[in-house]
Structure 1
Amino acid sequence: MKKTILSLSLTAIMMAAGTNLSVAASKPAHEERNFTEAKILRFKEIESRVLEIKEMNFSEMSKEERKEIRSELKELNKEAKANRGSGLYISTGALIVILILLIILL
């Protein structure tokens, strides 16, 4: 019983992996990001402001000041994430396959 389930699951995984490789070969390996000078300058401003905030002494500040700084950091983080582009995404099917493999192997 276990051998048939294992062989069927491995066959399904091999078939799925084979199709993904053929699709991946047709796509470019890496897309270069071209940032304008304004964006690069803004990134440097954000970085310098974050470094200034890290050097601050929070023990001497009031609760309201700490809240303002925290909200400013969140806004800077959102702006930086929006400008740098998207990240790595794992599809649901790939996640399920990984979990099944982990369960089988462990």
Structure 2
Amino acid sequence: MKRVAYFLAVMFCFTAFAPGAMAEPVKKDKEKTELSAEDEARLEEMKSRVEEIKSMDFSEMSKDERKEVRDELRGMKKEAKAMGQGIYLSVGAIIIILLILILVT
């Protein structure tokens, strides 16, 4: 039992510190993905709507109106992230995937 515990402790240390040691230096210039003309037009619409919302006076709005504006902003944020077309994995998800791969083999 101790042998398995030591092995797991060593494996967790390797998985925790190895990615940082093998990582490439951070590039300041990120590659931008090309958007279609339709996506660019939608993005400009969203930017103009956000500027319009920023200029609003929220003190005169009712609670329901403020909630609608907040929900609209959240929806636009999700849509903008979807345009980036990136796949993001959390550290927890990566650890779970590695554990499953280890247990399966």
**Shorter-normalised TM range:** 0.5 to 0.7
Give the counterpart letter for 1:68 in structure 2: E
* TM-score, scaled to structure 1: 0.54
Structure 2 counterparts to residues 4-83 of structure 1, below 5 A: 9=10, 13=14, 17=18, 33-83=33-83
Q: Whose helix fraction is larger, Structure 1's or Structure 2's?
A: 1
Against the structure 1 CA distance between its residues 63 and 17, is the aligned structure 2 distance closer, same or farther, given a 3 Å change threshold? Answer: closer
Q: Which 5+ residue runs of structure 2 have no aligned equivalent?
A: 1-5, 23-29, 97-105
Q: Which runs of 4+ in 1 moved over 6 A?
A: none
Take 1:48 and 1:65, find their aligned partners in 2: how far apart are those partners?
A: 19
Q: Which 5+ residue runs of structure 1 have no aligned equivalent?
A: 22-29, 94-106
| 1:82 Cα deviation after fit | 1.5
Take 1:85 and 1:9, find their aligned partners in 2: how far apart are those partners?
A: 36
Q: Superposition RMSD on alpha carbons, in Å? A: 3.6
* TM-score, scaled to structure 2: 0.55
Identity %: 39
| 1:17 Cα deviation after fit | 4.5
Q: How many residues align?
A: 79
| 1:9 Cα deviation after fit | 3.0
